Structure 1
Amino acid sequence: MNLRKIMMLTAALALSASRVFAHDAAAEVITPVMKQAIPEIAGKNVLMATVSYKPGQASEAHMHPGSIFAYVLEGHVTSQLEGSSPKTYGPGESWYEPPGAHHLVSKNASATKPAKLLVFAVAGDGDPVKLPIPH
């Protein structure tokens, strides 16, 4: 991937994240890794990013317009989708979130150690990766 594409991806993900986290200075840190169009699905892209949580940090409840695949790189993360029980995942474990699922809990399970995820998201052109749950 050339530098221009990396910079464009970084700006797009940062803008998307800033819309969600504009009022939350304690929000998790989302770092873009790559963006790739999916040739066999017009208008869809794969986005990869790391999500870093400080000890005890949690995300606001949210949803994703596209499929999400999450893989724990370090630490332990507790995740709960609406209709299911919370589950804590450790390094090397992963989960899937279907499009539109309400992600009620996403938090670092430790009060003393950081946690980091690798997230693989499918998103449409111009779609944000993460949205607040509508009320």
Structure 2
Amino acid sequence: MKQSRVAVAALMFALCGAAHANDTGEEKIELVMRQAIPEAAGKNVLIATVSYTPGLASEAHMHRGSVFAYVLEGHVVSQVEGAAAKTYGPGESWYEAPGSHHLISRNASKTKPAKLLVFALVGEQDPVKLPIPK
């Protein structure tokens, strides 16, 4: 059982583009769960936490599937292309449509950490996020 959890975690980190450690200057992504959806062949639900150290921002990116983000702690500034940037606090959430460009995702504070819970629909082999094509 423990080996299968370790194998799943290792696979998820690879599929997510690696879990980013804060000392790399990127957000830290921690897998909570990945589960195939029987009524949607080829699709998985991915649940993860995304942690930002004070002042940290993600690179602009996109997602192949739908993403739902919920702020657990701190405040996060988020902007999806075509919409204004908005600051979200604990208990607030937003939705990102498949293929939308997530231009801004950053900790609003220079002194306090922030943390999100992310629920995403992804293909069996899809990473959770991708760079925006140039």
Query: Same fold by TM-score, threshold 0.5 exceeded?
Result: yes
Paired amino acid for 1:89: Y
User: Residue deviations 1:59-96, cap 9 Å, x none?
Assistant: 00000000000000000000000011000000000000
Query: How many Å separate the matches in 2 of 1:17 and 1:54?
Result: 19
Paired amino acid for 2:34: K
Counterparts of residues 28-47 of structure 1 (less than 5 Å):
28-47=27-46
Query: How many Å separate the matches in 2 of 1:75 and 1:127?
Result: 29
Residue 125 of structure 1: aligned partner: 124
Number of residue pairs the alignment of both structures matches: 132
The percent identity for this pair of structures is 64
Q: TM-score, normalised by structure 1?
A: 0.91
The Cα of 1:19 is off from its aligned counterpart by: 5.8
Query: How many Å separate the matches in 1 of 2:99 and 2:19?
Result: 16
Unpaired runs of 5+ residues, structure 1, are: none
The Cα of 1:120 is off from its aligned counterpart by: 0.4
The 1:61–1:71 alpha-carbon spacing in structure 2 relative to 1, beyond 3 Å, is same
Query: How many Å separate the matches in 2 of 1:5 and 1:35?
Result: 13
Counterparts of residues 1-135 of structure 1 (less than 5 Å):
3-18=2-17, 25-135=24-134
The Cα of 1:12 is off from its aligned counterpart by: 2.2
Q: TM-score, normalised by structure 2?
A: 0.92
Unpaired runs of 5+ residues, structure 2, are: none
User: Residue deviations 1:29-76, cap 9 Å, x none?
Assistant: 000000111110001000000000000000000000000000000000
Contact 1:47–1:121 under 8 Å retained in 2 = yes
Q: How big is the alpha-carbon RMSD for the aligned residues of Structure 1 and Structure 2?
A: 1.8
